[in-house]
Amino acid sequence: MSVIDPSVVHGTTRLSLAGKTALVTGSASGLGRRIAEVFAEAGAAVVIADLRLAEAQACADAIACQGARSLALAMDVTDEAAVEAGFARVRGQPGALDILVSNAGIQIVAPIQDFGFAEWKKPLAVHLDGGFLTARAAVRQMMASGRGGSIIVMGAVHSKHSSRLKAPYVAAKHGLEGLAKVIAKEGAPHNIRSNVICPGFVRTPLVEKQIPQQAQEPGISESDVIENVMLEDTVDGRFTTVDDVAQAALTFAAWPSNALTGQSLVVSHGWFMQ
Ligand code: NAD
């Protein structure tokens, strides 16, 4: 009779976040929510930080029901005072902050000639200002604790590649790669690692909204958007899943050394190849 070792999954040792605390922004929904759930399953205490407190609380409650420690926070990542107040609440909890996933994001699509200046600034604020403000707060806590930690920035294939109609999103996602590389260099003496995940299209609310928007162009149906715009250049015509991205986040979160820092990992069914 064969005995299955529960610490071994798919031939690799299960990654553990036991005793760690992770804060995930934009985790009331989509990728952030799944990352928080997977981190909790791996043993972490998780902080669900999102603009939408009721949805964040529901997520934290569901995680708590599974036996993990969780806390919901209302946090607008573009607001310096709100970010500082949120991180101060985490500091007041037992255990130091070990992991940040800077994931909150929005998308606005329009041709460049029609992009209003105010609309241009919104994705830059959420992705770049939010990435900076949350990473700065996390770095300060990780330095103060002396434990170091892992900062994971949610990029996109659009950190490396461009698509029509997405000028501020593509610009912001490219910028986040630079931010993560600087943190990797400055954080290294403090055992702080910093990496970027670059997903392809994942069917979250952010993407579901884009499908009818892009199908407004004359002669393009919603299935054309999916097959010929979103998935055309993948190797198998498939969407990336929230689980694919959460497993990549778990790897970065659990990696114990600076061997894996300043890197970006594309998770996109081969849409973009480095
Ligand atoms: P989503 O819309 O499901 O979730 C985004 C979450 O961010 C929401 O809960 C929302 O309330 C929150 N949020 C938005 N603005 C915020 C703010 N100012 N402060 C705090 N929270 C805020 O979207 P998603 O697809 O899960 O996207 C998560 C991240 O993944 C984003 O950074 C996105 O750019 C990135 N991404 C998504 C895809 C995809 O195909 N879905 C692909 C590549 C990268």
Closest alpha carbon to 48 in 81, 72, 77: 72
**Contact 205 CB / ligand 1 (< 6 Å):** yes
Catalytically active residues, by annotation? 169
User: Do 29 and 105 form a contact (C-beta atoms < 8 A)?
Assistant: no
Tell which CATH architecture fits domain 15-200+241-262. 3-Layer(aba) Sandwich (3.40)
| Ligand 1 center from residue 138 Cα (angstroms) | 19
**Contact 106 CB / ligand 1 (< 6 Å):** yes
**Contact 246 CB / ligand 1 (< 6 Å):** no
pTM of the model: 0.95
| Ligand 1 center from residue 105 Cα (angstroms) | 4
208 Cβ contact list (under 8 Å, min separation 6): none
| Ligand 1 center from residue 29 Cα (angstroms) | 7
Mutate which of 31, 79, 122 for ligand 1 pocket (most atoms within 8 A of beta carbon): 31
Closest alpha carbon to 140 in 103, 88, 93: 88
- For the CA of 202, the closest atom of ligand 1 is 40
pLDDT at 108: 95
| Ligand 1 center from residue 8 Cα (angstroms) | 32
Q: Indicate the SS3 state at residue 109.
A: coil
Closest alpha carbon to 45 in 26, 27, 63: 63
**Contact 172 CB / ligand 1 (< 6 Å):** no
**Contact 125 CB / ligand 1 (< 6 Å):** no
pLDDT at 98: 98
Mean pLDDT by runs of 10 across the 274 residues of the chain is: 41 82 98 98 98 98 97 98 97 92 96 98 98 98 97 98 96 98 98 98 95 86 94 97 98 96 98 94
User: Do 242 and 34 form a contact (C-beta atoms < 8 A)?
Assistant: yes
**Contact 159 CB / ligand 1 (< 6 Å):** no
pLDDT at 153: 98
Cβ burial of 56 (10 Å; 0-12, 13-18, 19+) is buried
**What is the C-alpha to C-alpha distance for residues 187 and 164, in angstroms, rounded to an integer?**
35
pLDDT at 218: 78
**What is the C-alpha to C-alpha distance for residues 129 and 82, in angstroms, rounded to an integer?**
13
| Ligand 1 center from residue 166 Cα (angstroms) | 15
pLDDT at 125: 98
User: What count of other Cβ atoms lies within 10 Å of the Cβ of residue 129?
Assistant: 17
**Contact 126 CB / ligand 1 (< 6 Å):** yes
Q: Given strand 99-102, what is the order of strands in its sheet?
A: 70-74, 45-50, 21-25, 99-102, 149-154, 192-199, 264-267
Per the listing, tokens 């255990």 go with 95
Single-letter residue type at 212: P
Q: What region does 232 belong to: left with phi over 0, alpha with psi -120 to 50, or beta?
A: alpha
Task: Give CATH 3.40.50.720 domain extents, the chain.
Answer: 15-200+241-262
Q: Indicate the SS3 state at residue 40.
A: helix
- For the CA of 27, the closest atom of ligand 1 is 9
**CA dihedral defined by 164, 168, 173, 177, rounded to 10 degrees?**
120
* Two structure tokens written together for 103: 């994931």
Q: What's the sign of the alpha-carbon dihedral 170, 173, 174, 175? A: positive
